[in-house]
Amino acid sequence: MSGGSTKRYSADELRALAQRGQSRTDAARILGHSEEVLERAIANDPDWDDMPEDWHARAEAVMPRPKVAVSIRLDADLVDQLRASGRGWQTRVNAILRAWQDAKKSSAA
């Protein structure tokens, strides 16, 4: 991050900004820069130091696999524990099953 200022907002402030149609970013400042200024800023960004010039030519779009809704019976305590882990618990179940499947494939090879 550059030496600019960072403003913090509470969730309530962000909701109020959204209701008023205001952005949390200074898009006008960014959009006001010339292509040359933006290219120079990218070139000076330390996060891009080791990025090859042609990275985008070799980049490959990776589309997420479509999910399928299923209904399964699980032990109540297991579901309670997963739900208690918070938002995204079903995604974590998917990751657990994926890891199990990958481990099973590895051990079979």
Using one digit for the tens of pLDDT, what is the confidence trace for 83-96?
999 999 999 999 99
Mean residue pLDDT of the chain comes to: 86
pLDDT tens digit string along 14-36?
A: 888 878 877 767 777 777 889 89
Please, are residues 58 and 85 in contact by the beta-carbon 8 Å criterion? Answer: no
User: What per-residue confidence (pLDDT) applies to 1?
Assistant: 47
